[in-house]
């Protein structure tokens, strides 16, 4: 069956991502908009607190530690000549007594005393503490406020992280459910054209990348960008000249970021392609380990993997080189900005046109300013991964490879009286027809067998009956009605299919047989097990029906898996039985058990049997002989043998075939 693995390439290196894909996440986020709004509100509060902390430092320095221009302006209209001075309130008897001890240092003017800050070290410690008691009290208040705001910042950061993580988890929960429901609703044609590993990746790592987008990148947008804007605004208010000097390095930062993003985009994409190929090679190797070891392909497989791994290593080194340039460059620019602040701001402090507290606040703000820029590489990587994942996720969600549905008011089916094919053509790929003008009718209670060489179209024919595919021409009829006009539930719960390679799910034998079937009491369970010839297997296993089978039923043989599949059909009590090469890959002893179970299952039921071994269909009411997608012969076994045509020749070359009558 032709396949096409090109629809979900991990990246198209020449194609820029469509950022409108992010807008399509809106419907997923809409049910959680209150949480998102709460997270944004918390981010704004956190940003205000972050911006306020350096201002508290400025207040502590300028008002209480080294009060200069601000203190003077607060106490006197003009600062006296001779430098910064401490103003002493003589209305306080203790302060007046302490000031009287230093007449040569403290000058009394207009009911107040002043002392130069340069002379404060000459005072006794007790007197210094007394005279600066107001500053110490103010400093204690600022310190307490600083601690409270820091604690509030911790609480708000915790709450914001909790809300954002919860929002991201809920959105990803909804996205996984939407993807899972959508994939289950797609037609089998979709799964024959796309590798299972990549589809699983959509539900796992790609969804996880989207989670990282919500929790990390969205936080960057709302928190870091608001913080950058807030820092710039506060710096301009504090001293616009010093702010402009500081911003002189911003064009260099922007240019470096743009250059980094262009170089990193292609490297990130290449790495994703390499990682996907490595994962695919691992999965292929593990799945085909038996064949690899049987044919001694370990060395060749290792060489191919080593080459792929080396390509991934080279791409990783390219990423490291880009990061190794970008990250130190941002650090250098941050240090350069700090140097400009110290140089230009220091001069302004010496000229007394800028307070020392403002200079310290500037240094704190510039460190905060470059912190988000240092995270740019990580955030950009998250964005790139999220964009690639969004592209691939929406490729799946936009896929409409599903069989047309009948109108909601379509009537049910009732008991199955007949199954018919009316001039049916079918092709998996346009232009490569598998079935050509196939017509027949199967009446209730009859057994119809389909035989022919490999590639004749037998399995394709049987796959049309449960409407796993639609014919490209003609119609499949149940009770004379086209399957395309019937709800799937109207007929699928009335039939059972035993496939050539029966699929068992991880879990117990009981779950594989009875899950989805009508509730069964112990007597019904025992009857199903006996009818399917499973008694010996169930008795041999330590937990009986509750024995775990492992992935794909790996703990039992292929014949035993076939018997479990037959038991599953018994449990559904179907009206129509479909068999697809049910005995083609088992030993003769197990074949006998399977044949007995099949005979019981077909009693008083309608059956369509695809068989490779002609010995299994001798007693069918009618046999269709197919070759190259057409029905070339039809009749019972004796009738077809009497024709001495294609069926006769197939019978003659079958190993162990009995001689034809008269020979």
What pLDDT does 111 receive? 66
Identify the band that residue 10 occupies on the pLDDT scale cut at 50, 70 and 90. Answer: very low
Check if the beta carbon of residue 352 is closer than 8 Å to that of residue 68: yes
What pLDDT does 6 receive? 43
Alpha-carbon distance values, 266 to 11, 384, 635, 639 (Å) = 10, 10, 64, 68
Instruction: Please give the Cα distance from 522 to 398 (Å, whole number).
Output: 46
Indicate if the alpha-carbon torsion angle 643, 644, 647, 651 is positive or negative: positive
Q: What is the DSSP letter of 247?
A: G
Task: Give the count of beta carbons closer than 10 Å to the beta carbon of residue 547.
Answer: 18
Identify the band that residue 19 occupies on the pLDDT scale cut at 50, 70 and 90. Answer: low
Identify the band that residue 449 occupies on the pLDDT scale cut at 50, 70 and 90. Answer: very high
Residue 235 corresponds to which tokens in the numbers above? 């710096």
Q: Is 172 helix (H, G, I), strand (E, B) or coil?
A: helix
Among 59-73, 192-206, 458-472, 589-603, the least confident range: 59-73
Instruction: Please give the Cα distance from 418 to 402 (Å, whole number).
Output: 26
Q: Which domains does the chain have, with CATH numbers?
A: 20-61+137-397 (1.20.1560.10)
The number of residues in the chain equals 663
Please return the burial class of 439, using the count of CB atoms within 10 Å of its CB with bins 0-12, 13-18 and 19+: exposed
pLDDT tens digits along 133-178: 777 888 899 999 999 999 999 999 899 888 888 888 888 888 888 8
Phi-psi region of 479 (alpha: psi -120 to 50; beta: other; left: phi over 0): left
Instruction: Please give the Cα distance from 463 to 457 (Å, whole number).
Output: 10
Check if the beta carbon of residue 595 is closer than 8 Å to that of residue 583: yes
What pLDDT does 7 receive? 46
Q: Which of 286-300, 340-354, 363-377, 644-658 reaches the highest mean pLDDT?
A: 340-354
The pTM score is 0.70
Strand order in the sheet with 418-429: 432-443, 418-429, 473-478, 481-482
What pLDDT does 476 receive? 93
What pLDDT does 119 receive? 76
Q: What is the DSSP letter of 405?
A: P
Please return the burial class of 538, using the count of CB atoms within 10 Å of its CB with bins 0-12, 13-18 and 19+: buried
pLDDT tens digits along 598-646: 788 888 889 999 887 787 788 889 999 999 999 999 999 999 999 999 9
pLDDT tens digits along 405-438: 877 656 667 888 999 999 999 998 888 889 999 9
Q: Is 288 helix (H, G, I), strand (E, B) or coil?
A: coil
Q: Is 31 helix (H, G, I), strand (E, B) or coil?
A: helix
Q: DSSP readout, 583-613? A: TTTS-HHHHHHHHHHHHHHHTTSEEEEE-SS
- Name 580's bridge partners: 610
Instruction: Please give the Cα distance from 537 to 509 (Å, whole number).
Output: 10
Instruction: Please give the Cα distance from 72 to 78 (Å, whole number).
Output: 7
* CA angle (209 as vertex; 203, 211 as ends), nearest 5: 90
Q: Which long-range contacts (CB under 8 A, 24 or more apart) does 395-400 make?
A: 395/7, 395/8, 396/8, 396/179, 396/182, 396/183, 396/199, 396/202, 397/178, 397/179, 397/182, 399/186, 399/190
3-class secondary structure per residue, 111-147: CEEEEEHHHHHHCCHHHHHHHCHHHHHHHHHHHHHHH
Nearest to 337 by CA among 414, 246, 405: 246
Residue 377 corresponds to which tokens in the numbers above? 């590489």
Among 96-100, 195-199, 628-632, the least confident range: 195-199
Strands (DSSP E) found in 444-509:
447-451, 473-478, 481-482, 495-498
pLDDT at 370 over 50: yes
Share of the chain above pLDDT 90, in %: 12
């Amino acid at each position: 069956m032709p396949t096409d693995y090109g629809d979900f390439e991990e990246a198209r290196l020449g194609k820029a991502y469509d950022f409108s894909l992010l807008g399509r996440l809106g419907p997923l986020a809409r049910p959680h908009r209150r949480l998102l709004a709460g997270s944004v509100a918390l981010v704004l509060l956190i940003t205000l607190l972050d911006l306020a902390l350096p201002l508290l430092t400025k207040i502590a320095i300028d008002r209480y530690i080294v009060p200069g221009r601000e203190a003077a302006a607060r106490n006197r209209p003009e600062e006296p000549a001779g430098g910064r001075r401490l103003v002493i309130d003589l209305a306080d008897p203790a302060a007046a007594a302490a000031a009287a001890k230093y007449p040569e240092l403290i000058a009394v003017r207009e009911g107040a005393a002043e002392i130069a800050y340069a002379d404060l070290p000459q005072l006794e410690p007790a007197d210094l503490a007394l005279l600066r008691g107001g500053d110490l009290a103010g400093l204690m208040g600022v310190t307490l406020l600083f601690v409270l705001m820091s604690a509030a910042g911790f609480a708000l950061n915790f709450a914001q992280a909790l809300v954002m993580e919860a929002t991201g988890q809920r959105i990803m929960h909804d996205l996984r459910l939407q993807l899972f429901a959508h994939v289950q609703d797609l037609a089998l044609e979709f799964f024959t054209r796309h590798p299972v590993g990549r589809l699983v990746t959509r539900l796992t790592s790609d969804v996880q990348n989207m989670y990282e987008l919500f929790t990390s990148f969205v936080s960057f947008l709302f928190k870091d960008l608001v913080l950058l804007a807030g820092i710039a605004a506060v710096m301009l208010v504090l001293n616009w000249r010093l702010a402009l000097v500081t911003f002189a390095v911003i064009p260099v930062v922007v240019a470096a970021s743009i250059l980094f993003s262009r170089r990193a985009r292609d490297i990130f994409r290449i790495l994703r392609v390499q990682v996907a190929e490595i994962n695919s090679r691992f999965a292929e190797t593990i799945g085909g380990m038996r064949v690899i070891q049987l044919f001694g392909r370990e060395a060749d497989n290792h060489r191919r993997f080593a080459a792929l791994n080396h390509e991934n290593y080279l791409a990783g080194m390219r990423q490291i080189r880009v990061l190794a340039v970008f990250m130190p460059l941002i650090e250098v620019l941050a240090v350069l900005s700090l140097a400009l602040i110290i140089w230009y701001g220091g001069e302004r402090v010496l000229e007394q046109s800028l307070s020392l507290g403002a200079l310290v606040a500037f240094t704190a703000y510039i460190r905060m300013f470059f912190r988000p820029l240092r995270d740019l590489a990580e955030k950009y990587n998250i964005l790139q991964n999220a964009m690639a994942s969004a592209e691939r996720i929406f490729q799946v969600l936009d896929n409409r490879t599903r069989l047309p549905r009948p109108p909601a008011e379509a009537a049910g089916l009732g008991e199955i009286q007949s199954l018919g094919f009316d001039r049916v053509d079918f092709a998996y790929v346009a232009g490569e027809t598998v079935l050509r003008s196939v017509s027949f009718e199967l009446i209730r209670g009859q057994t119809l067998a389909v035989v022919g060489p490999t590639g004749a179209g037998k399995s394709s024919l049987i796959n049309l009956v449960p409407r796993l595919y639609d014919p490209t021409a003609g119609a499949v009829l149940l009770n004379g009605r086209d399957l395309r006009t019937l709800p799937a539930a109207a007929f699928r719960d009335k039939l059972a299919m035993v496939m050539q390679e029966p699929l068992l799910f991880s879990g117990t034998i009981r779950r594989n047989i009875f899950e989805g079937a009508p509730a069964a009491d112990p007597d019904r369970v025992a009857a199903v097990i006996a009818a399917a010839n499973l008694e010996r297997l169930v008795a041999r296993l330590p937990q009986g029906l509750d024995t775990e089978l492992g992935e794909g039923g790996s703990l039992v043989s292929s014949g035993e898996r076939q018997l479990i599949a037959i038991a599953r059909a018994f449990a559904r009590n179907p009206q129509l039985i479909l068999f697809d090469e049910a005995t083609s890959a088992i030993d003769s002893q197990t074949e006998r058990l399977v044949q007995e179970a099949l005979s019981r299952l077909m009693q008083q039921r309608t059956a369509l049997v695809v068989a490779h071994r002609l010995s299994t269909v001798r007693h069918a009411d009618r046999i269709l002989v197919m070759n190259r997608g057409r029905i070339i012969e039809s009749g019972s076994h004796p009738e077809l043998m009497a024709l001495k045509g294609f069926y006769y020749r197939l019978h003659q070359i079958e190993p162990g075939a009995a001689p034809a009558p008269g020979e």
